[in-house]
Structure 1
Amino acid sequence: MVGPAEKLAAMKLIMGREIDTPLTTKGTKLTWARIVVTKDKILGKSLRELALVEARGVTVSRINRAGVELPAQASSSLAFGDIVTVVGSKPDIDAVALELGNEHARLQEVQFPALFFGIALGVILGSIPLAVPGLSAPLKLGLAGGPLMAAIVLGRLGHWGPFTWYMPPAANHALREFGIVLFLAVVGIVAGDRFFDTLLHGDGIVWMGYGILITLLPLLIVGVIARVFGRFNYLSLCGVLAGSMTDPPALAFAVSMSKTGAASVAYVSVYPLVMFLRILAPQILILILAGAGAGTF
């Protein structure tokens, strides 16, 4: 049986005791294989709709999506790039492989039309004014929040019409690293011409000290609380802290310490909310302060 530990413990109470028997398909007609989902007509369909057990006699034991193992349930829907582990006879597994696609070459293709459609949609969403009662002017997500919102929605959707939102791991890694390099380069270019002058003259050292305290103290407090009371592991904690600061270089450092995706998963869990707050909170504060200032005259 395959499933969460607590569910397996419950099934032992229902079915009987656990046995320590080697699991093998040797000497039987059964075998197992991993099949990649690449057929467009399969995307979004649930295992119940595919009826692989009834039609082919093949059982799906688990689904691997972006490196995360998911339990195979009747309501589980398939997405492009999913790796499903199937058990059955060799001819039946071959037939299921043709039905699901199993075209590994398609996993290396970058879906540029879908990518540019998502960027265009993000620009449109970022330009839409959001009227909030009590504020004198509408808010906007801008070029940072709009594409982020579009990416979240389209990533959850997975596919629509001719578009499939899937990024090969190599391309994803390359674009992510390239984006971090561009971000740091722009920061350096903007601050470079007056960095040393600000640092060596006036209150530059004092402001750097304030910046260190403002950055370090919240990290230490949140880190200790999350570690002691939340029982966060170190990599997930690094991802959460990097996401709370929307700090891609910190994420890159955390990812480099391990081959697992724990830091990245924690990062993306908090990053969208923090980014929206960073975009909207300054606009709200400016409008509130502007309104309060206008009311004093």
Structure 2
Amino acid sequence: MDAIRTLLESQLLFSLFLTVALGYVVGEVNIKGFSLGSGAVLFVGLAVGGFAPKSAPPGLLGTLGLLLFLYGVGIQYGAQFFKGLTSANGLKANASALFGVVGAGVLAVALVPMFGIKLDESLGLFAGSGTSTATLQAIIAALHSDGASVGYSVAYPIGVAGPILGLYVLHAVLKPKIVQPAAKVIETAEILVKNAEFIGMKFSALTSRLPPGVAIAAVRRDKHNQIPTEDLVIRADDVLLATGTDPVALKQAAETFGVLQTGRITSDREDLDYLRVFASSKAVVGLALGDIRFPEGVICSIAHVRRADADMLPNPDLILEVGDRVGLLVNRAHIKAVRKLFGDSIKGTAELSFISIGMGAALGLLLGLIPITVPGVGKLTLGLAALLLLALYLGKIRRSGPFIWTMPLSANLVLRNFGLTIFLAQVGIASGPKFFATVGTAGVSFLLYSLAIAFALVLITAVFCLWVFKLPFDMAVGVISGATGNPAILGFGNRIAPTDQPDIGYAMIFPSMTIAKILFVQIAAALMGG
């Protein structure tokens, strides 16, 4: 055993990646539907750190992992985050999480008179149960003592395991029916115009009468296919190539304008051919479809955009991202020019703009250092919460001049999952020695206090989400994950609610609740003699 301990303590990277590997093995163990997933990496790390106290990699490595995770989440869900702040569900989600954070904080402070523990230790328990390092830093700065670190080290693992267990119980008891949205696939319909109401009408007027979710990609006239212009006048027996993701809407369009036909447009590729390209060029990525300028003389129109596993109609406001697959109707003579415009490089879709990532992360870290003065409380800094806020903003605007802030979805997922794993492994190994030492001296009391605080945070947030504001279960999972804070909880949430709503809920909640936790401990320290 001594030889293994020596190996772990002398080869820190070996210890890190061994923890990652063993963590994922343990995370895959399924007991009656319950498994820890990536969260198991933290607990394996605690065991490794307890066994080999000097095996922890530098803390900077864990911070880097957390930075990659938060930056990736912000870039992907920026638009949804800002939309959520002004939506009814977004306001309800933030209110639910705030009630949970304040309720858990009040319980932590109440431990001081009820059980005689020190204020710094109780606030440390609150910070650890909410897995917020920024909150711990705020406590130490306000109270100038190390007691908060003791409470934090004990509570942190509970702050991960408790909410995961809470979400599992909620899912088991409520048995919510969560339907993974079917991937949207573009379908086409050829419509022979027979309705006299539309004959002689301009194309721009005709499109205003289309059912929602239906677009016209091409018109066939006199045995030739053409891309319609706004001032094209519709004639009898014109054939419209309608596209959409809803077969019912396509059928409705056919009944409105005429009758369904087959094969007239799609079988004739003399004038227009179908081409699918990858969006990988800076000339188009980050631009709205309506702002893309094709080379002079090029006859081409965008029929649809496929992102991840879903097809999207070519709305003029839709912004292209790296890796989007764009379906075009184009004259064969212009195919080469169109490929050059879009880039059409699958290799390019896997590449990251490290200039953009470096600038975005550096600006976020810089913002996190700026002290914010709160009347009656003092100065505080947001740390990595500021980086997440900036990443959310960059994800919303997507492009600033030559800088493309977004990244390919596949690269984003790999980057942030790798960052999360490294963060959990490093924190677990580093916390192991203090965790077992504190539990040995303080007994199980701190563990029980931590459980109470963590479950209060989960329960209060869940009650307001599910029963007071009646938010969907998958959205509530994201809100609870954001209120409790640790990415491993979100990872488990994604397993029991496999939609995009947990990620969106987490992104909406995490920055504001990090600020709320910091403010709470600052106010508690000021009011209670810190």
Q: TM-score range by the shorter chain?
A: 0.7 to 0.9
Partner of 2:477: 238
User: 1:96/1:126 Cα in 2 relative to 1: closer, same or farther (>3 Å)?
Assistant: same
Displacement of 1:75 in angstroms is 3.7
Structure-2 residue corresponding to 1:210: 452
* Stretch deviating more after TM superposition (62-71 or 146-155): 62-71
**Secondary structure of the corresponding residue to residue 138 of structure 1:** strand
Q: Is the 8 A contact 2:356 2:404 kept in 1?
A: yes
Q: 1:275 aligns with which of 495, 506, 514?
A: 514
SS at match of 1:141: coil
Partner of 2:207: none
- Secondary structure in structure 1 of the residue aligned to 2:303: strand
- Superimposed CA distance per residue, residues 176-201 of structure 1 (whole angstroms, 9 cap, x where no aligned partner): 23322333234434542243455462
Structure 1 equivalent of residue 121 of structure 2? none
CA separation of 1:204/1:149 partners in 2, compared to 1, >3 Å: closer, same or farther? closer
1:177 equivalent to 2:413? Answer no
Distance in 1 separating the partners of 2:485 and 2:263: 46
Q: Which has the higher contact order (CA 8 A, sep 6+)?
A: 2
**Residue 116 (structure 1) shift:** 1.6
Aligned residue identity for 1:99: L
Distance 1:221 1:170, change over 3 A: same
Q: Does 1:59 align with 2:301?
A: yes
- The separation in 1 between residues aligned to 2:261 and 2:508, in whole angstroms, is 39
Write the letter of the residue equivalent to 2:346: H
Q: 1:138 aligns with which of 359, 375, 379?
A: 379
Letter in 2 for 1:122: G
Q: 1:167 aligns with which of 407, 430, 448?
A: 407
Distance 1:282 1:56 in 2: 62
Q: Matched residue of 1:253: which SS?
A: helix
The alpha carbon displacement at 1:54 in A equals 9.3
Q: Give the secondary-structure state (helix, strand or coil) at the position aligned to 1:63.
A: strand
CA-to-partner distance for each residue in 1:186-243, whole Å, 9 max, x for gaps? 44345422434554625235324414532442354246338x933x2x5444333323
Partner of 1:28: 268
Measured at CA, do residues 23 and 258 of structure 1 come closer, stay the same or move farther in structure 2, by a change above 3 Å?
farther
> What is the root-mean-square deviation of aligned Cα atoms in Å?
4.0
Q: Note the C-alpha offset of 1:175.
A: 2.9
Q: Does 1:85 align with 2:323?
A: no
Question: Alignment partner for residue 40 of structure 1, among 282, 285, 309?
Answer: 282
Shift of 1:292: 7.9
TM-score, normalization by structure 2: 0.45
Aligned to 1:118: 360
1:171 is displaced (CA, Å) by 3.9
How big is the shift at 1:94? 4.3
- The answer to whether the 8 A contact 1:48-1:74 is kept is yes
Are 1:58 and 1:93, in contact at CA under 8 Å, matched by a contact in 2?
no
Distance in 1 of aligned mates of 2:413 and 2:376: 41
User: 1 CA distance for matches of 2:258 and 2:474?
Assistant: 33
SS of the counterpart of 1:78? coil
- 2: CA distance between counterparts of 1:120 and 1:172? 18
1:155 is matched with which residue? 395
TM norm structure 1: 0.73
Q: Percent identity?
A: 25
User: How far apart are residue 14 of structure 1 and its match?
Assistant: 11
Distance 1:13 1:86, change over 3 A: closer
Quote the residue 1:253 is aligned against.
492
Unaligned runs of 5+ in 1: none
Q: 1: CA distance between counterparts of 2:490 and 2:529?
A: 40
CA distance in 1, matches of 2:354, 2:298: 35
Q: Which residue of 1 aligns with 2:435?
A: 195
Structure 1 range deviating more: 80-89 or 96-105: 80-89
Secondary structure, in 3 states, of the residue corresponding to 1:16? helix
Distance 1:215 1:24, change over 3 A: farther
Gaps of 5+ in 2: 1-213, 215-242
Deviates more, 1:47-56 or 1:273-282: 47-56
Measured in 1, the distance between the counterparts of 2:373 and 2:439 equals 41
CA distance in 2, matches of 1:18, 1:274: 55
Q: Which amino acid aligns with 1:140?
A: T
Q: Secondary structure at the match of 1:35?
A: strand
Distance across 1 between alignment mates of 2:436 and 2:338: 64
* Pair 89,265 (structure 1): closer, same or farther in 2 beyond 3 Å: farther
Aligned residue in 2 for 1:290: 526
Per-residue deviation, 1:121: 0.8
